[in-house]
Structure 1
Amino acid sequence: MTSVADNSLSNDAREHELKQMYEAIHAKNMFPFWAKRSDVEHDEIKQLMASGPKALPFLWSFKNDLEPILQQSAKLVTTEDSDRRSLILTNPGLKPRRATVTNLYTAYRLNDPNELMPAHRHTASAIRLGLTGQQNFTGVEGEDIVFRPGDMVLTPRDTWHNHGNVGDQPAINLSVLDYPLVESFNSLSFDHDYVEDGSLKKKQSARFSPDYSARVYGTGGFTPRFVDHFRGVGGSAPMFVYRYDAVRELLERNREWDDNHHEGLKVEYTDPVHGGPVYKTMTFFMQMLRPGETTLPLKQTASQLITPMEGSANVKIDDETFNCHLHDTLAAPGGHWVQFSNPSSTEPAILFIASDENALQAFGLLQRFGKTAGGDVFRLV
């Protein structure tokens, strides 16, 4: 049957029928995708663009908020109560979703001395970054890794892993997971029953030497042919630990480089065998802001999670400036102008940054824009 617009209706009758139609559409869980320029109330394109949760710029303070609660949780929540004791940072614009920015979340964990959590695995990929303590522990697919502040450890999707602390002092680490992205694809799952030799075990037996990642992949630029690089289920870097000393030395060695005024000195963690980011869903950087340095504004569709590892940084997001101190986390969602500055005139600031830019790039959705010193906007390649 062909329908045509009924021009015989009076304006009042038409408005009444329009209102009834919109009420019926929304009551039946549908959304009308058309727009009437003369009718602001029912400009559905504007409503579509404005509706839905959106991540907001937000700063979590390590010293004032995170660390005291982590210490309190260690007293009140034992390993008998829970297999994990982590604080997930939930963006106020995305609640009730467990997400720090749209596609990623950050969590902080404190492990007491000589504490070991049971082995588990999940379809979300993750990294662990040491913040405090010298003997954070993560065992990944039979490689037992002890890591210090600034060291980054991979736990790729579907790899069995343990978390804990093998030292005599409490240790805090930071996690970044692509949990929200995996959840949006309805692909999230967990497994807590680790079986070895036919019986359930809390900890994996070591199958690789503790220095395996550094010994096989640590030199960079060379690909050993004498080992199997398929570890776990694939799709991630086979090197499971990236040491802070190495990336810090690289930044220091190039601190006079002055060609990128929108990002300063920024190093991306990459897969030593296949190249590119360590995961397909998220990527990680260490950035140096030299004493007194201020970057030019940059806007991109990708989101960033920013954590200072040395010094502090002032991060301007649009018209609001956030003062980021040691081990804080700042959510910088995509779509905002972001500018970094180091308030110190004598010491560099070192920032750990997680981003979903490679996931957006894979779908052709990554866009980046910069401003010149004079304020002109241009597209970055």
Structure 2
Amino acid sequence: MTPPANVHRLPNRDTALKALYEDVAAKNMFPYWAQNKDVANDEDRVLMAPQKAVPYLWRCAEDIEPILDRAVELIKMEDSERRSLVLMNPGLAPKRATVSTMYTAYRLNDANEIMPPHKHSPNAIRFGLKGKGNFTGVDGENIVFGPGDMVLTPNDTWHNHGTVGDEQALNLSVLDFPLVETLNAVHFDHNYMEEENGKMVHKKQQSERFTPDYSQRIYGYGGLMPRFASKEKRGAGYSSPMFVYRWDMMRELLERHKDWDGDPYEALMAEYIDPTSGKPVFKTMTFFAQMLRPGEKTLPLRQTANLLVSPFEGRGYSIVDGQRFDWKQFDTLAVPGGSWCQHVNTSDKEPVTMFVASDEPVLKALDLYKKWGRDKNDAVVSLA
């Protein structure tokens, strides 16, 4: 059979192809034409296989806290304004990312140390783990928080961190930094100023403009919104105006529903929301508290959203893409988007509660959010 006129079988084709690909790479381009799976340059495979996050578990008591304890002795606030450990996913290294769009960092503050104010474009939260004196000042509201409390530090909102009282305090942070970095939209500002006598002057701490209990007093009543405060702009106005969510309220809600059937794939799960809109606290991330009753085991769930799961009470294990991860209090588990995952409470007496971060809002905004489950017969069903 005579080949088509546009096909030329050169006697030195392999050598010429190698030279062609070398020239393409040298000019910072990518050849997207090969379809044959047997050739060395299978561009489909290469294009569809970039760096990907892998399921991974970081252990707080064994690995994170000992390093932070050493850092407290060696790294002082005079050396650095923060003392945090970012959890870096092995599949994404050296990028600072726990999953592709978010990272978790653990922060230990020594007694009575508070850093100067700063702001940045990534959204962030702080979740208390140990100590009653965790401190975050947000837009003039000085918030002292303890274990289980969640504090927002939104996009472009002045804030500062530290500890009040005579004991150390440990918290974890979740930021959408990897997503914002991918979008080339990261900016930081440490030049905090306030007006005094008609002039702008530098300040090492924000002046208090709201009472320390402002978030709870104004926004902390579900279904009830004080009309006189509804127009109060807080921060840059890009997030929930309620800057602190107290654990006792969330724990009470979960406890009140512990006898409900719950969801077979998520057990009892409650979302932190903007009380003025009912939407997630940020446009890029949302957060949940999840309870597994004694002996409870969820059915396998898969979704396009990335998850960061931090057990807060109890212990158990998760199976992510067939791999078992045994966890306990204050650990963090990375569940990359697209992974099958189920959770198990190994106690027959005590519940497990977990703090969960997800990039679900940004996926929904882009019409990329999907969700599947396996039923009791192991059949795959579409959930969203």
* TM-score normalised over the length of structure 2: 0.95
1:319, distance to aligned residue in structure 2 (A) = 1.2
Deviation at 1:324, TM superposition (A): 1.2
Q: Which amino acid aligns with 2:251?
A: R
Task: Give the C-alpha shift of residue 235 in structure 1.
Answer: 1.7
CA distance in 2, matches of 1:14, 1:54: 34
Counterpart residue number, 1:237: 240
Q: What does the per-residue CA deviation read over 1:133-166, in whole Å, with 9 as the maximum and x for residues that have no partner?
A: 0111100000010101000000101111110111
| Partner-residue secondary structure (3-state), 1:115 | coil
- Separation (CA, whole Å) in 1 of partners of 2:185 and 2:17: 40
Asked if the contact 2:316/2:344 (under 8 Å) is kept, the reply is yes
- Which amino acid is the alignment partner of residue 217 of structure 1? Y
Deviations 1:334-373 (A, max 9, x none): 1110000000000000000001111111111111110011
Q: CA deviation at 1:168?
A: 1.1
- Aligned residue for 1:144? 142
In the alignment, the residues of structure 2 paired with residue 28 and residue 68 of structure 1 have an alpha-carbon distance, to the nearest angstrom, of: 47
2:219 aligned with 1:217, yes or no?
Answer: yes
Q: What amino acid is aligned across from residue 23 of structure 2 in structure 1?
A: A
Q: 1:14 to 1:275 in 2, by over 3 A?
A: same
Q: Distance in 1 between matches of 2:262 and 2:88?
A: 36
**Counterpart in 1 of 2:81?**
83
Q: Which residue of 1 aligns with 2:177?
A: 179
- The CA deviation at 1:287 is 0.1
Displacement after TM superposition at 1:47 (Å): 1.4
Structure 2 residue runs without a partner (length 5+):
none
Match of 1:40? 39
3-state SS of 2:228 partner: coil
Counterpart Cα distance in 2 of 1:59 and 1:193: 37
Q: Provide the residue aligned with 1:103 in structure 2.
A: 101
1:142/1:25 Cα in 2 relative to 1: closer, same or farther (>3 Å)? same
Name the CA shift for 1:199/1:260 in 2 (closer, same or farther; >3 Å).
same
CA distance in structure 1 between the partners assigned to 2:91 and 2:8 by the alignment: 46
In the alignment, the residues of structure 2 paired with residue 345 and residue 38 of structure 1 have an alpha-carbon distance, to the nearest angstrom, of 51
From 333, 339, 344, the counterpart of 1:330 = 333
The Cα shift of 1:131 comes to 0.3
2:286 counterpart letter in structure 1: T
Match of 2:250 among 247, 251, 268: 247
Please give the alpha-carbon distance, in whole angstroms, between the structure 1 residues aligned to 2:125 and 2:57.
Answer: 20
**Preserved CA contact (<8 Å) 2:319 2:325:** yes
1:92 aligns with 2:90: yes
Distance change >3 Å, CA 265–CA 199, structure 1 → 2? same
Q: Using the alignment, how far apart are the partners of 1:13 and 1:117 within structure 2?
A: 66
Q: Deviation string for 1:228-282 (max 9, x for gaps)?
A: 3421111200000000000110001111221410001000100000111000000
Q: Which residue of 2 aligns with 1:341?
A: 344
- Report the alpha carbon displacement of residue 95 of structure 1 after superposing the two structures with TM: 1.0
Label 1:336 to 1:44 Cα distance change in 2 as closer, same or farther (>3 A): same
Gaps of 5+ in 1: none
- The CA deviation string for residues 161-204 of structure 1, in whole angstroms up to 9 with x for no partner, is 11011111110011000111111111101111111222211110
The separation in 1 between residues aligned to 2:202 and 2:262, in whole angstroms, is 55
Q: Go from structure 1 to structure 2 and tell me whether the alpha carbon gap of 1:35 and 1:216 turns closer, same or farther (over 3 Å shift).
A: same
Amino acid at match of 1:178: D
Letter in 2 for 1:7: V
Amino acid at match of 2:228: F
SS in 2 for 1:40: coil
1:5 shift after superposition: 6.3
Cα distance change on mapping 1:35 and 1:195 into 2, 3 Å: same
User: For residue 306 of structure 2, what is the amino acid of its counterpart?
Assistant: S
Per the normalisation by structure 1, the TM-score is 0.96
Cα deviation per residue 1:305-347 (whole Å; 9 max; x = unaligned)? 1111100120100111101111011111111100000000000
Q: SS where residue 312 of structure 2 aligns?
A: strand
Q: Give the CA deviation at 1:39.
A: 3.5
TM-superposed deviation, 1:7: 2.6
- Secondary structure, counterpart of 2:70 in structure 1: helix
State the 1:38 CA deviation: 5.7
2:15 corresponds in structure 1 to: 16
Distance 1:231 1:369 in 2: 37
From 188, 191, 205, the equivalent of 2:189 is 191
Q: Does 1:371 align with 2:374?
A: yes
Distance 1:38 1:274 in 2: 50
* Superposition map of 1:48-59 within 5 A: 48-50=47-49, 52-59=50-57
The equivalent residue for 1:164 is: 162
Which residue is 1:267 aligned to? 270
Supply the distance in 2 between the matched residues of 1:5 and 1:284 (Cα, whole angstroms).
Answer: 61
Q: How many residues align?
A: 376
**1:279 aligns to 2:282 (yes or no):** yes
Alpha-carbon offset, residue 40 of structure 1:
3.3
Instruction: Give me the CA root mean square deviation.
Output: 1.3
